[in-house]
Each structure stands twice: as C-alpha cells, then as structure tokens.
Amino acid sequence: MKIYPFQRLLISTFLVVTLGSGVFDTLQVHAQQATITTPHWNMQDSWYESFGSSMFLNQRGRRGGWFFNWGAPVYPTYGGYDGRDAHFGFGFRKGNLRGGFNLWASQGSERSMTMTAPFLTVPHGGFGSISHGSWRPFVTGWTPVIGAQPQWQSPLKIYLNSPEGAQYIRQRQEASPGDVVAEPIERRPQTIPKPRTDPPLQIINGKSTDD
C-alpha cells in the first residue's frame, strides 16, 4: 500500500496530538489541586422592652419610724441595654409622712452579622483539615502540709505540764488544807437605774400623738 506524503503528515500529526494529550493529561492529574471554601455565617438579633413602676412610703418620729419600698428595677441583660430609660414620677409629703411613685419605660434592639470563609487547598491524593477552637491555660497550685508537729499551747498550760508547774501545784495543795473557811463574797447594791418603760406609739391620721 502506497502512502502519500500528505497521508504521512496526517498520520504523524494524529500520533503527536494523541501522545501529547496523554502526556499532558497525566501531568495534569498528578499536579491538580482542589481549593475548598467553607463559609460560615453568624447572625444575632435581640431586643428588649422594659416597663415598670416603684413606690415608697416612710414616716419618722422622735421614737423611730417605718418605711415601705416596692418595685426595684430589673435591668435587661440582652438587647444592648444602655440604661437610658424614660422616667416619670411624683412625690408628696404631709407632716412626717413622705412618699413617691415612679414609672419607667425603655425599648431597644441589637443586631450583628459576621461571615467567615476559610479556604483550604489540598493536592491530588492529599488531605487537609480546618479546625476552630480555644485554648485556656490552667494554673496548678500546691499547699504544703506540715505534719508531726506539736499543737500550739498557751504558756500557762505548758508551765503547768512541766515539772516546775507540778511542784508548784503540790505546794499550793499542801499550803491550803481543805478545812479552811472560804472568804465571804462581798455584795454591793446595784447602781444602774431601772430602765424606763415608754408608752406605746400611736398614729392617728398619719400623725404621731407625741409630736
């Protein structure tokens, strides 16, 4: 079979293209990489409404007094509370009686949005990892314990337990026989005056009878 130069050129070109494609594909397979992206969204939305009231009453006199308080405010721990409430109130006084009333109201909200997109590039046939965490150091402490030590005692007890103290006790017992009459106890009259009893406190129409 006779092959013309043109046919030889076509066959050579086909073989070169085929072999070249195979070599390039092999090189590309061994050298390819993959990039992986993992986006992470964090959205927070919080709001608060705070309404309340409080009041107080108190009365004072020469012998004391009384009081009544109610309605301490409770502050929200979320929603971005800034402490700028709207307040309305009034107070009154009549003699020694005082009182007041308070109203407050507030409203607010807080929003935040955070997006993180870590990416990882791994070679063909390789592996990779993405991790997120926190590390907190710790402190190790030690407390020495001292053992086999005598307990603390007062100087008097140490002296009485000593030979000198035992001898002193024997001398006192020998010098003080049991038939000695005890010395009488001196009794003196009480000089503190008897406490005064006050009459009961009476309040009529918000006024003390003692005022």
Q: What number of H helices and E strands is found in the chain?
A: 3, 8
Q: Residues 168-175: what's their mean pLDDT? A: 80
Report the percentage of the chain scoring pLDDT > 90: 6
Return d(Cα 38, Cα 58) in angstroms, integer.
64
Q: Is the confidence at residue 26, as pLDDT, over 50?
A: no
Residue ranges of E strands in 63-205: 64-70, 86-94, 97-116, 119-123, 203-204
Query: Apex CA 122: angle with CA 116 and CA 124, to 5°?
Result: 150
**What pLDDT is stored for residue 116 in this prediction?**
85
Distances (CA, A) of 82 to 46, 87, 150, 177, 194: 14, 14, 60, 84, 59
Q: How confident is the model at residue 5 (pLDDT cuts 50, 70, 90)?
A: low
Q: Residues 169-196: what's their mean pLDDT? A: 67
Return d(Cα 38, Cα 15) in angstroms, integer.
44
Of residues 168 and 207, more confidence is placed in: 168
**What pLDDT is stored for residue 188 in this prediction?**
67
**What pLDDT is stored for residue 40 in this prediction?**
82
pLDDT in tens, 48-61: 888 888 899 999 88
Under DSSP, the state recorded for 207 is: E
Instruction: Name the least confident of 67-71, 77-81, 125-129, 134-138.
Output: 134-138
pLDDT in tens, 142-153: 666 665 555 556
Of residues 195 and 91, more confidence is placed in: 91
Q: Would you say 19 and 27 are in contact if contact means Cβ atoms under 8 Å apart?
A: no
Contacts of 105 (CB under 8 A, 6+ apart): 50, 51, 85, 86
Tell me the average pLDDT of the chain: 75
Q: Positive or negative, the Cα torsion across 120, 125, 126, 132?
A: positive
Of residues 26 and 123, more confidence is placed in: 123
